[in-house]
Structure 1
């Protein structure tokens, strides 16, 4: 599937701000008569041509003559003066008589411009061939004078044209330039003085190796005062992400974006080729491979042989290893490596050799014959077996053994590599090793398999590693496969652990608790009545957690207490900590917060001492929940922050509780006004489940909306919809943020629709999400209120009644959710109370008379730490105060709301606050309104009179004008009387017509929206 069109320069220019600024500055200096030259260096595909196109467009818009020429890759010596001939060619047929004359009087230019009118040619310009010199033409010494005449002619014609208009001369791909072109460029660069001329030459830095003929010229040019050099580096990660998103026809998954960004390494051309050629971007496109391999064809056979050996290694390779695998002698190897390094194909890193770009390695590896690959992989494997053990030793041995199909060697190496990865906190790598072991299990003879391992154990480990590396669905799948491998003669303890593994995998996924309880009951049935052991302790602890999740609190408490006692007896500290977490959560459920937090801190400490990082994370997560539910944002942020740190230290960042704490931490930062600048830190790593990626995206979405990045927010919303069922918390965040997005965009119908869609989905899925309807209803009520207000201004009473009915339904949903929802602590917490207060206040706006006291209550309820939502309520409170003629209190609320919006860079809210202040004639601290434009006609109207007349022109009644401007109907009548007297009008309509005729009001256009 093709994901992107071949847009080329059609896409927006991403990043390159500094480089573009320097190029434009160089042209601006040339406009002032300060001639100069710029050397633009960068790798192939890094964006030199695009940048030069932007410069040419800029110069052309300033009236400059833009001349462009390109060198060609002609290996047999090049075409003399080709880029100059191409660049100056249009001069011979220009429409400008002055340009044509400047060319005509310089006959030496006929060597470059065959269409130019010929003039007399000096005898010394061309040396005739004689019979003594048959064959290829050989220049004679006297031709040097002819070359000088040509150089003078080029400089002269450019100088003369530059007297009339600035000139931009662009020479591309200088690395392919012939000697004559290089000489002419050197001549021009050394004679740049006061001409209005800028010469820009680009070249591929990677192609200009030590012996390249251009290198000497570059050294010479950069010493000249008129010459500057700009290096174009690969895009940084954030810019590369923006570039990839700009390339796409539609929304891309974070996994695809991350893959393209990582593999292209900031090279725009590589990114475009990768994205355009495949849906998953795992294979290198054939066209791109050909481009990459073409560079290597110029190298010697020995150099290419070395490159193949390094490509097989898949990493940097030491000299000794290359000597063994490549089969080259020392001298041959040295020369081959020197050649590859000089041509910028290889780089030296800490005494070893590696490809300059990873895609080069992929292209070379993909071009290998099957036999070559197998032999070289086998050679690397044999060398690794002889070398001392070290970090990554088993992973490397496993890789090369697999590729050389030596499965008997690969299997134990994979298992050892998985153990090492787990110790290093890399569960994702451990999962890949175990999966590879499962793939080759049947291909290894039973006698060659490690005796202490069987397939059932591998499936259990695969399930565990999948769960801890952010792939919960695969964790369940592997656990199910493990259960299916159980037989009647399977050891009871092993079977118990297998069923418990399935229960844990199911417990960590939303909506699977009933299945998890069935699985843990199977485990319990196997050991019921058995003597206390580590296994029984863990089963009891897991069973207690699941029973609490299914609201069997009494059974959960009993099970957890027994688990603690047995765990203490057998020294299973990890199981004890797990059971303590359940007891702490149960205490939280009944409002005993002191006991709950003491239990959870104790569990955190015991789990850490026992080396059970997953249990430790669960303890920190529930501790954060306890604080968050009671509106104690600061300690909640601290607890979740510690959990995030521990998850990173133990490699469990994207485990169930690692993800949950990261998501909650981001949400609390949003609530407290500590908004991060970028979402990159919240994006899961490549390979993490798309469900988890969606969860983090959903938590980031409210910030994107609140900052007014509506296009990006719309794309994110579209990505999230398919993940609602797998992760209902995504539906809550997306429903609320989607409704707010529609509100700021003025689509009030969509505000209600998006919120109701999310509520209906969650209610049908699980009644446990009922509390979310408070927040979603409150957001939807804002849309219903806006619809009702617009209908009143139109005088559409039927639409007003319809909006009021919707508003009543929504506020009833919020009240019902508050009454019937199930808070974790048993009583509605600060967040629920705040959203309910906002819903009640917004409901009065739907009815038509906003209640200032209810909005004041909403402001107070959000005062526990919800900075942005409180600012929203302050804005609405100010509007309600203005409606009851309390401008002083309204000004105070608007000032506070504006300060928050400015601090958060919440542009939609900031603009809404300023608009309300402007209409109410309230001055906001630090805000200076733009001066009114000068009018050709003397304007007799005051600002307030014009505001009144503008609304009268839109068909508003005096009462409606007063409501919009927060003045009484009587005051509107007074303003109308005054302005009609000034205009000499006797009727409202006549006043509007006279104002239009005199240019005092702008006539409305069909596209102009009415003020609502």
Structure 2
């Protein structure tokens, strides 16, 4: 079981910004003497109590008296005035004299606050009960008069207290309130005028049905000008994901997050219960099921019977279907449905009935007896058989037939449903149907099996659908099972297609290239001597792609050319397009970019005409690669966007090339500075490989780090680490982003470790990833330079030597990777050259001041369109210029870098730029270099800068190096500071500055970048 903290215990309030703003605004108006009330409505578990707790904390922090009371679900008439008694109870024992006096002079409050009575009972209050003894008994006043006195007393005491301090009165769960409580609330709210009083009452919207006694009061209250309605809706998907991540104690896989978000439908309590009971399970947690079912116990037997019938359907149900399956008469059915709708259990959508929340349906279904389930599923299956064909008809028939154990009907229905799902662009659904058909294949009698289908075909289709729906490992597994099922009696053409399916599946799975080579070799052996055919053309096209992947260029080229010729001869446009892609990729490898792009565009067009969707996406992907490798980022982005749109239309966003298109597009958006505001990668559907989901998360990671969202980035890094071997590009993204984050946090040893770990992993996995060492080495080098600078300032020669040695080793790593790596286009592209230039410039800072000329070259190298990296280099260039006393050029570079960082909300870079500008006394447009201070400040900006560094333990020499002034000038500034503050020593000057608020105390050891 996954343990999570309970709601409200340290979990941040997610979303709810607008609702919180409205409630705070109401309280703020009350502070000014504009009394008001708010009615907070929302379903059970949606977060009403948490929102009210935040409001109470806000009001308490502003000195308000917060009074809170709750109604209870007491079905035998309720407890009169319970929430008011609870809320006002603390007044009876308050130590505040004003409150005590306000209560004392209002004896009518005794009905709520017995402890508030003053003095003993009078003799008139003793009433003889029997002739044997007497007991004290309150005189019973006339009811209406006594109630009015109480109401007046409550209003008066709150109004009087509000003259001394604002009052927030919170009444929760008003749907359970008794009549007396509702009357008192109506009286109180209708008399709100100029008191500093804000009343908030919450209720469950789904419990207030048409005949609920609270409904009339709500209608009355909302007409009052002082009353505001606040509806608390379920969380949106993005907010729900953020809530689930905050709720868990450790990292969660994308699958678990997606499952909890989907099933909870934005309800925080439901999400908490699902996660606490292990969300991977399809079964509803027992505790949550009990909570949900408790609501239904109040309904009549007929209403509960109807709910069971709808739960078995698993979707919206028409009135006619319910009449047939439930067995109720028309009048009974109408009344049962009306009752369920009025109690907000069912809703009407397009003339059909469905549960208000899907988890209610799960709870009811889980509570059914086995026999009930079977009978109702059989009734639905029988009805579906008699209805006309329509969208989803076969899937519904298959589902109900399986649940009623009618496998003979289920098998052909599953096969038809899989075909329909494929046509609709839903390969994941098609895979589930085929898998279910495989599960029951051996149970169905041979005479009842469709003649045109056998187990081999099912295995082949399962492999294909698994590959296109984001499960490459399962695609390989099913393809292996298919080749193992081959027998000598199997037709040769089918055997070839079976081996080719295994080759294609393995080619798209990391670490399975050797299997792909073996499988395509088997397929080729079977057709090498045969006549030209579509099957032979497809084998050649697949062989060409695989041979290129293992650097067998001549074999690849021959296979591709032959495939094109064969495909044209027999009219196999899809195979021709596939082979053209390989020819285009080979031309790219040879740096013949014009030829490459012509081939790839032709392949895309032919694949589209042939309706070969996967081939079309592959063509678009390689065309994007061609532009990207040459630094033509804008064109590459346009191509990727076209491919993504096509993948979405076809339902192939989690196929190998659908995923690659989205991942590359997100990375180029990072380079170009078109950063999305939130994770726009899409949540993986159920069943999508966690490795593929991790790849998308990794593509988002650089933006998360660059924006300074380090807590979220740490969680992502932990989540992604297990997937390095399954997807090496995840390792590259994780290593790079992790190193950059540690750099910004000032933990340079960790930054170097992370970069080196990722580089070593990549090179050990496959020498083809050698080029990744350029970027990783440059990132590690940046931290080595920072460590060297720190050691130099501290005068730590051993640490300095160590940092310099690490930096030199990283520079060699970069140079080796640049020289020996194998770029796709045969020579290092703009991105690789830019990172290499950055490493060379950075390395000049190992021995002292960096070389401005090399940093200028790095800026120019990233000018191909890598906006963020260019801004980083401008910042470093400015620092090198300042060391060379070129202040004007440095100011120009800082201004340009700051504009980019501010626009991107790249906070770590922005803050570093501002700090450098402040130290160098350079004004950035629109930026105040120093916060405003409320105290009289005798220090100049330069004097304060000197004193800040002295406070951090710097020597005069170190201060001078940081501020680009001489050691003697530092001494002069310090003398003036001590004179102004009346201090005799440096330490005393720092202490005085802290006490007077002239310096802000550092919050961490790395407050300033060295």
Q: TM-score, normalised by structure 2?
A: 0.95
Residue in 2 aligned with 1:637?
637
Give how far 1:836 is off: 0.7
User: Are positions 1:325 and 2:322 aligned together?
Assistant: no
Q: Secondary structure at the match of 1:115?
A: helix
Matches of 2:992 and 2:713 in 1, distance apart?
A: 44
After superposition, give the CA deviation of every residue in 1:225-251 in whole Å (9 maximum; x if it has no partner): 222221111111221111111111011
Give distance in 2, aligned partners of 1:28 and 1:773. 57
Please give the alpha-carbon distance, in whole angstroms, between the structure 1 residues aligned to 2:34 and 2:991.
52
Do residues 973 (structure 1) and 968 (structure 2) align?
yes
- After superposition, the Cα gap between the structure-2 partners of 1:410 and 1:878, relative to the gap in structure 1 and judged at 3 Å, is same
Write out aligned runs for 1:629-668 (5 A): 629-668=629-668
- Asked if structure 2 preserves the Cα contact closer than 8 Å seen for 1:346 and 1:355, the reply is yes
Structure 2 match to 1:964 = 962
Q: Secondary structure at the match of 2:202?
A: strand
Higher mean alpha-carbon deviation, 428-437 vs 110-119, is at 110-119
**Would the aligned equivalents of 1:691 and 1:726 in 2 still touch at CA under 8 Å?**
yes
Relative distance call for 1:929 and 1:563 in structure 2 (3 A) is same
Kindly provide the CA deviation profile for residues 513-541 of structure 1, in whole angstroms up to 9, marking residues without a partner as x: 22101000011111221111111110111
- Counterpart Cα distance in 2 of 1:910 and 1:519: 53
1:820 matched to 2:830: no
Cα deviation for residue 837 of structure 1 reads 0.6
Alpha carbons of structure 1 residues 612 and 1007: separation in structure 2 relative to 1, 3 Å: closer
Residue aligning to 2:399: 399
Contact 1:467–1:505 (Cα < 8 Å) also in 2: yes
Partner of 1:100: 100
Aligned 8 A contact 2:951 2:990 in 1? no
Q: Which residue of 2 aligns with 1:49?
A: 49
- C-alpha contact (below 8 Å) 1:107/1:119 kept by paired residues: no
Q: Summarize the Cα distance change of 1:932–1:20 in structure 2 as closer, same or farther, 3 Å threshold.
A: closer
CA contact (8 A) 1:23 1:55 kept: yes
Task: Give distance in 1, aligned partners of 2:1006 and 2:566.
Answer: 72
Residues 123 and 542 of structure 1: CA distance in aligned 2, closer, same or farther (over 3 Å)? farther
Label 1:230 to 1:773 Cα distance change in 2 as closer, same or farther (>3 A).
Answer: same
Specify the alignment match of 2:986 in structure 1. Answer: 992
Question: For residues 172 and 390 of structure 1, what CA distance do their matches in structure 2 show?
Answer: 48
Q: Is the 8 A contact 2:956 2:971 kept in 1?
A: no
* Structure 2 gap ranges (5+): 131-136
Which residue does the alignment assign to 2:835? 835
* Corresponding residue pairs, total: 998
Is contact 1:633–1:672 with CA below 8 Å preserved after alignment? yes
Is the 1:107–1:121 Cα contact (8 Å) retained in structure 2?
A: no
Matches of 1:680 and 1:601, distance apart in 2: 28
1:483 Cα deviation from its structure 2 partner: 1.1
Partner of 1:591: 591
Please state whether the residue corresponding to 2:198 is helix, strand or coil.
strand
Q: Does 1:180 align with 2:180?
A: yes
Give the Å deviation of 1:92. 2.6
2:156 aligned partner: 156
The alpha carbon displacement at 1:382 in A equals: 0.2
Report the alpha carbon displacement of residue 141 of structure 1 after superposing the two structures with TM: 11
Aligned positions of 1:669-684 closer than 5 A = 669-684=669-684
More displaced 10-residue stretch of structure 1: 84-93 or 642-651: 84-93
**Cα pair 1:662 1:682 within 8 Å, conserved:** no
SS at match of 2:844: helix
* Rounded Cα–Cα distance in structure 2 between residues aligned with 1:834 and 1:499: 44
Alpha carbons of 1:953 and 1:680: their partners in 2 closer, same or farther (altered >3 Å)?
A: closer
Counterpart in the other structure of 1:578 = 578
| 2-structure distance, mates of 1:933, 1:128 | 75
Change (3 A) 1:294 1:983: closer
Deviation sequence 1:592-649 (CA, Å, 0-9, x none) = 1111111111111111101101001111111111111111111111111111111111
Distance 1:764 1:1009, change over 3 A: closer
Q: Residue in 1 aligned with 2:791? A: 791
- 1:263 shift after superposition: 1.0
Q: In structure 2, what is the equivalent of residue 443 of structure 1?
A: 443
Q: What does 1:183-582 correspond to in 2, within 5 Å?
A: 183-582=183-582
Residues of 1 paired with 2:222 and 2:941: CA distance? 61
Instruction: Give the secondary-structure state (helix, strand or coil) at the position aligned to 2:441.
Output: helix
**CA deviation after TM superposition for structure 1 residue 960, in Å:** 3.6
Bigger Cα displacement from structure 2, 49-58 vs 545-554: 49-58
Contact 1:108 1:121 in 2 (8 A): no
State the partner residue of 1:134. none
Post-superposition Cα deviations, 1:439-491, rounded to whole Å, max 9, x if no partner, equal 11111111111111111110110000000001101101111111111112221
| Distance in 1 separating the partners of 2:824 and 2:230 | 60
Counterpart position of 2:869: 869
Deviation at 1:331, TM superposition (A): 0.5
Distance 2:782 2:830 in 1: 21
User: Cα 1:1002–1:907, aligned 2, differ >3 Å: closer, same or farther?
Assistant: closer
What do you get for the CA RMSD once the two structures are aligned? Answer: 2.5
Q: CA deviation at 1:31?
A: 2.4
Which residues of 2 match residues 895-906 of structure 1 at below 5 A?
A: 895-906=895-906
Distance change (3 Å), C-alpha of 1:502 and 1:55: same
Q: 2:134 matched to which residue of 1?
A: none
- Tell which deviates more after alignment, 330-339 or 118-127: 118-127
Alignment of 1:798-817 (within 5 A): 798-817=798-817
Q: TM-score normalized by structure 1?
A: 0.95
In 2, Cα distance between the equivalents of 1:952 and 1:268? 49
**Which deviates further from its counterpart, 880-889 or 536-545?**
880-889
- Assess if the C-alpha contact under 8 Å between 2:42 and 2:205 holds in 1: yes
Distance 1:563 1:331, change over 3 A: same
Compared CA separation, residues 895 and 996, structure 1 to 2 (3 A): closer
Does the CA-based 8 Å contact 1:6-1:276 persist in structure 2? no
Is this contact kept in 1: 2:914–2:929, CA < 8 A? no
CA shift, 1:974, in A, is 4.2
Distance in 2 (CA, whole Å) between partners of 1:313 and 1:954 is 69
SS of the residue 1:802 aligns to: helix
> Is the CA contact 1:683–1:696 (under 8 Å) kept in the aligned structure 2?
no
**Does structure 2 conserve the Cα–Cα contact (< 8 Å) formed by 1:808 and 1:843?**
yes
Distance 2:316 2:127 in 1: 56
Q: Secondary structure at the match of 2:681?
A: helix
Structure 1 CA distance, aligned partners of 2:9 and 2:17?
16
Of residues 593-602 and 974-983 in structure 1, the stretch that sits farther from structure 2 once superposed is 974-983
Cα drift, residue 714 of structure 1: 0.9
TM-fit CA distance, 1:58: 2.1
Contact 1:581/1:599 (CA < 8 Å) preserved in 2? yes
Question: For 2:815 and 2:337, how far apart are their aligned partners in 1?
Answer: 75
Q: Quick one: structure 1 residues 947 and 90, their matched pair in 2 at CA, closer, same or farther if it must change by over 3 Å?
A: closer
Distance in 2 (CA, whole Å) between partners of 1:17 and 1:233 is 12
Map 1:697-776 → 2, pairs under 5 A: 697-776=697-776
CA separation of 1:531 and 1:1004: change in aligned 2, threshold 3 A: closer
- Residue pair 1:781, 1:846 contacting (<8 A) in 2 also: no
Of stretches 625-634 and 305-314 in structure 1, the one that deviates more from structure 2 is 625-634
User: Residues 3 and 279 of structure 1 are in contact (CA less than 8 Å); yes or no, is this contact kept in structure 2?
Assistant: no
Whether the 8 Å contact between 2:775 and 2:814 is mirrored in structure 1 is yes
**Which runs of 5 or more structure 1 residues have no equivalent in the other structure?**
131-136
Superposed CA deviations along residues 266-317 of structure 1, whole A, max 9, x for unmatched, are 1111111111111515321111111111111100100000000000000000
